[in-house]
Amino acid sequence: MTIEAMKAWAALKASITMPKKNNRNSHFKNSYADLGQVLAAIMPVAQEHGFLIQQAVHGEGVVNWLNTVVTHLETGVAVAQSNYPLVQDKPGPQPLGSCITYARRYALKTLFDMVDVDDDGVSAHGQMPKSAELDRAFNLINAAITVDDLKHIKATIVADLPAAAHRAAASSRLKTRYTEIISEQGKNVNDE
């Protein structure tokens, strides 16, 4: 990934807001943000930052996969991608369609480090008095360019989050972003 694409990717992820829960799963008795909410949170910001998001189903025999690719249009660099297996519990087009919708939602949420948030600030991780604090922490983590940036964010922002679930979610994202930065630094050194 080029530095330009990496900076644009970080800026995009820093601009994403968490999707609001708008649906209820009666079987599991929980709420979630549906695919429409996830796309509404991502697509306008992705377009604004010059990214294309593509999702397509590919199959090999009885195994189908959802491939998601996020491409920085200016550089043509694919900055993120995932292959999500489509496992149907029953044969037929309706179960396949449900499986594809579920996979699209989770692939996007994973690539963009999203957590569903209720309108009242309650997250899937438990009671969270202010979703804005977690959003701020994620935005700063996603915008970090160096390991020193992450150390500073961990010491000053993540440590001060009021809810244990917030700290756990932010710490998990910190680890992922640390790996991304180290990986990019290694690629840039090898490219020179």
Q: Which of 94, 116, 138 is the last residue of a domain?
A: 116
Range of the domain at 99: 1-116
Q: Are 99 and 178 in the same domain?
A: no
Q: Are 156 and 85 in the same domain?
A: no
The total domain count for the chain is: 2
Q: Which of 78, 93, 116 is the last residue of a domain?
A: 116
pLDDT of residue 120: 42
Q: Are 134 and 77 in the same domain?
A: no
What's the pTM value of the predicted model, to 2 decimals?
A: 0.62
131 confidence band (pLDDT: 50, 70, 90): low
Q: In 40-64, which positions are buried (b, 16+ CB within 10 angstroms) versus exposed (e)?
A: bbbeebbeebebebebeeeeeeeeb
Q: Are 109 and 145 in the same domain?
A: no
Q: Are 87 and 140 in the same domain?
A: no
Q: Are 159 and 64 in the same domain?
A: no
pLDDT (tens digit, 9 = 90+) per residue, 55-111? 999 987 667 889 999 999 999 999 999 988 888 778 888 888 888 999 999 999 989
pLDDT (tens digit, 9 = 90+) per residue, 149-172? 888 888 877 877 777 777 878 888
Q: Are 84 and 19 in the same domain?
A: yes
Q: Are 143 and 111 in the same domain?
A: no
Q: Are 94 and 141 in the same domain?
A: no
Q: Are 77 and 125 in the same domain?
A: no
Residue showing tokens 């977690």: 134
Average pLDDT, the chain: 82
In this structure, how many other beta carbons lie within 10 angstroms of the beta carbon of residue 126?
11
Please state the rounded mean pLDDT for residues 114-137: 58
Cβ atoms of 53 and 43 within 8 Å: the answer is yes
Q: Are 131 and 184 in the same domain?
A: yes
Q: Which of 47-51, 63-67, 116-120, 147-151 has the lowest mean pLDDT?
A: 116-120
pLDDT of residue 46: 96
In this structure, how many other beta carbons lie within 10 angstroms of the beta carbon of residue 107?
21
Is the per-residue pLDDT at 9 higher than 90?
yes
Q: In the sheet that 77-86 helps form, which strands lie side by side, from edge to edge? A: 51-60, 63-72, 77-86
